């Protein structure tokens, strides 16, 4: 009888020592700025892999800035005139691919398309066709 009691005590003490492994903060992220320094789709995916490997869960992606608009919008094709080069542009399919890639690795993409000061590239591109 005492042997069974001791075995039970051992497992009872063992269960109290098991800890839950969970992150301290809900938002654990990294900011990348591909509007000023273009990053290829492969580079962004490698960054996502690194985030997932280190248990980070958010990629804040600054895509558009006042100096560059490297994102193709089919309804407004002239926006990409403000990109650094024709080769350094993200298509909607690229963004869908990256977001899907991140989703399956537990990483949330927070795209940033700029604010009012970032309209400089837009105005320079459309200055001849804008109606005020």
Q: Give the pLDDT of residue 14.
A: 58
Contact status, residue 116 vs residue 109, Cβ threshold 8 Å: no
Model confidence pLDDT, tens digit, residues 59-86: 999 988 877 888 888 888 888 888 888 8
In terms of C-beta distances under 8 Å and separation of at least 24 residues, what long-range contacts does 70-78 make, across chains too? 70/34, 70/35, 70/38, 71/95, 71/113, 78/125, 78/126, 78/129
Average pLDDT by stretches of 10, the chain with 132 residues: 56 60 79 90 96 93 84 84 87 95 95 64 55 44
Q: Cα(59)–Cα(52) distance, rounded to whole angstroms?
A: 10
Q: Give the pLDDT of residue 89.
A: 93
Tokens 């009888």 belong to residue: 1
Domains and CATH numbers, the chain: 27-126 (3.30.750)
- What DSSP character marks residue 83? S
Q: Give the pLDDT of residue 109.
A: 95
Q: Give the pLDDT of residue 131.
A: 46
Q: Cα(96)–Cα(10) distance, rounded to whole angstroms?
A: 52
Q: Cα(72)–Cα(27) distance, rounded to whole angstroms?
A: 29
Residues in contact with 94: Cβ distance below 8 Å, sequence separation at least 6, in sequence order: 41
- What DSSP character marks residue 35? T
92: three-class secondary structure by DSSP:
helix
């Amino acid at each position: 009888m005492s042997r069974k009691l001791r075995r039970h005590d051992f497992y009872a003490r063992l269960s109290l020592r098991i800890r839950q492994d969970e992150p301290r903060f809900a938002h654990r992220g990294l900011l990348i700025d591909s509007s000023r320094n273009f990053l290829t789709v492969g580079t962004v995916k490698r960054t996502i892999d690194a985030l997932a490997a280190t248990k980070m869960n958010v990629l804040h992606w600054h895509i558009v800035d006042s100096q560059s608009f490297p994102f193709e919008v089919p309804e407004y094709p002239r926006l990409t005139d403000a990109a650094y080069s024709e080769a350094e542009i993200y298509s909607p399919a690229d963004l869908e691919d990256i977001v899907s890639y991140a989703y399956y690795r537990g990483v949330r993409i927070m795209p940033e398309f700029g604010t009012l000061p970032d309209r400089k590239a837009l105005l320079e591109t459309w200055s001849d066709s804008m109606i005020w």
